[in-house]
Structure 1
Amino acid sequence: MYWVAASTPAGDGEEMVSKWLSACVKLEELLTATRLKTSVRKLSPIHQTSDVEAFHSTINHFAPKIIGFSFHGMNCRLLLAALHFNENSGRPQAMTEDGLARYNILFPKYKSGGYITREKKINQSFRYINTLMKSVGKIVEGTNMRQSPKVPMQAPRPLCAEYIHPLKTDAILEMQSRFRKPEM
């Protein structure tokens, strides 16, 4: 709308209407494009991805990708991440003593000095840890400490176990034969 008025300095109303209608044609082409209609058909009326992204962020906190964990270590960390997320995902907005909603002001890089406001949530809860520690205590009390602890599940075979491993000497000879220059 601003472009229509700014690009018509004489103020000719008929010219502005024709510019407006031409812009509407372009907009209609964009909004009725096959690709956009295909995407609209796939929209979920109930579920959005923000919760999934928040859960993945929680997993990255408990099991950072930069560190390699054993199968059992990773399994325990994923279970802890799920417990933490389930307890804290629906936290309400924090309120002041006067009953006013609290907000944070953030300065993300993509705003180049600009800011955004976000609801401030109440502090995270870690109540699940007490329940978990009580469960671990019951398990430890019921076992003989001289016995080795039982592993709850067997670790799967490594993915590379599916492949045939050649002898190292054969692999080296094969590599050298590929790079050997034919004698002339």
Structure 2
Amino acid sequence: MSSMSIVAMDSSFKAVYMVHWNKNDERDWLIKGSTPYKELELIVKSKLLLKDIARLSPAEQTSSLESFHKVILFFAPKSVHFPFTTMAAREQLAGLHFNENSARAQALTQTGKHMWGVSFPKARRGEPVIKAVKVTPTFVDVQELMGEVVELRNTYPTSKKAEALRSNRQVPPPIASAFVKPNKLILVGVQRSRSRFNK
């Protein structure tokens, strides 16, 4: 890249300054003490930006991981209890759906221009933020999975045969089974002895 533009906006958001820079240009491209210099310095040296830079990940960003967690929560919400096998199946479905749709292209208008959406997040105090509009998600795996369901139904025509296959799987015991259930009467007695109102 031999040239680029730097845009700075003053703190009142009334004026926008654009400075063009060419690497072959020998002159100072931003004059110290000028209004664009001061505004850029305010932005670059702001405490919030410096704090954010210190917290940036040096290698990988987490946005795709957060997107995957969102897909998992769609398929298996935390507010609903699922048995282990059902939860495993839902997480596998979420993985298949995410892998199929994680690299969707940006949608285009009829004239061939990229589509953008505007949102007003609370974190930005209502300031508008543009986001790329992606093409609609695909569900190609659904046909393959439905074919597999039909094949399994033909292989195991009764629920008894299907249950026999399911019982061969290793299902971990519930977490609560690792703890001893306390006696309620003993707990009530201990609570009463500790309470300042029963003295």
TM-score, reference length from structure 2: 0.64
Q: Give the letter aligned to residue 52 of structure 1.
A: L
Q: 1:140 & 1:113 partners in 2: Cα distance? A: 53
- Whether 2:168 is the aligned partner of 1:168: answer no
Q: Give the letter aligned to residue 81 of structure 1.
A: A
Name the structure 2 match of 1:103: 116
Which runs of structure 2 are paired with 1:97-176 in the superposition (5 Å)? 97-145=110-158, 147-148=160-161, 149=163, 150-151=165-166, 153-176=169-192
Q: 1:91 & 1:147 partners in 2: Cα distance? A: 42
Instruction: Give the strand-richer structure, 1 or 2.
Output: 2
Select the structure with the greater relative contact order (CA < 8 A; seq sep ≥ 6): 1
Q: Give the letter aligned to residue 165 of structure 1.
A: K
Instruction: Give the helix-richer structure, 1 or 2.
Output: 1
The offset of 1:154, in angstroms, is 3.3
Secondary structure of 2:160's counterpart equals coil
Name the structure 2 match of 1:54: 67
Q: 1:105 & 1:146 partners in 2: Cα distance? A: 51
The offset of 1:163, in angstroms, is 1.8
The alignment yields a C-alpha RMSD, in angstroms, of 3.4
- Residues 146, 78 of structure 1: CA spacing in aligned structure 2 closer, same or farther, 3 A cutoff? closer
Q: 1:163 & 1:50 partners in 2: Cα distance? A: 37
The offset of 1:113, in angstroms, is 4.1
Which has more radius of gyration? 1
Q: 1:32 & 1:59 partners in 2: Cα distance? A: 33
Name the structure 2 match of 1:71: 84
User: What fraction of aligned residue pairs are identical, expressed as a percent?
Assistant: 30
The offset of 1:121, in angstroms, is 0.8
TM-score, reference length from structure 1: 0.69
Q: 1:52 & 1:78 partners in 2: Cα distance? A: 14
The offset of 1:146, in angstroms, is 5.3
